[in-house]
Amino acid sequence: PRFVRVVLGSRDGEYWQGAHGATFADWHLSLTHATPPLPPALPLPPAVPPTPPLDPSLASLTCGLLQQVTYMSGLHVDEVGFRRLQGVSGDSVLLGEPGGSAGAPFSLSRDDFLVGVRGVGGCGYVACWLEMRTSLGNTLTIGEMHAWHEDAFWSESGGYFDLTPPAGRGVLGLEWNTESAALGSDKQLKLVLGSCLASPPSVPSPPSPPPST
């Protein structure tokens, strides 16, 4: 748009006083371009919200890579096997030799997975006893020796161990710890771990049937 500024002189007796002191008998207009007004200032953009701090509970997350634990035991743990979820690559883990009696398979899933394995190594077998804990609070105890003493006694024994997976890793099984200095019947165990990125996606729930009429 174009802007016009009108400048008029002031009258002094019979004459008109111009804007700059000049006198003239007839008044006239002085037309000039005026500076257009500045547009209103734009509002400042909103401040970027700070990155929220990491939830400390996320630091302890692991995942489910197994669907089943099988075992054979009596007084001690003779054999223990770990079957992987469908879609998790690799072979199942089997440790020990057949002996004792086969126990009922211990079922696991993506939502109910191993978060800890403790026990006492040695006794000439896979372990004197094992206890496995899951994310939903279920436990599996293998080996009758566990019932011989209270936990306080076992936790002070030389072969006691309590293994937990680090964040971002899931349990795939147990294996002998070849880096351990202990030999023979006192060989120590360690976790076989896999990346949680290998965890298969959840199977969607089937649609609910329509209400009966």
List the chain pLDDT tens, one digit each, 213 residues. Answer: 554 555 555 555 555 455 555 554 454 555 555 566 677 776 665 544 343 443 444 334 789 999 999 999 999 999 999 999 998 988 899 999 999 999 999 999 999 999 999 999 878 899 999 999 999 999 999 999 888 888 778 877 778 899 999 999 999 999 988 876 554 445 689 999 999 986 655 555 456 566 665
pLDDT of residue 180: 63
Strands of 57-153, DSSP E: 66-73, 77-84, 93-96, 101-102, 106-107, 114-120, 129-134, 139-142
Are 111 and 136 in contact, with CB atoms under 8 Å apart?
yes
Strands of 19-65, DSSP E: 23-24, 30-33
What is the value of pTM for the model shown?
0.63
CA distances from 196 to 110, 115, 171, 189, 190 (A): 10, 13, 9, 22, 18
Q: How many CB atoms lie within 10 A of CB 125?
A: 22
Angle, vertex CA 72, rays to CA 67 and CA 73, nearest 5: 130
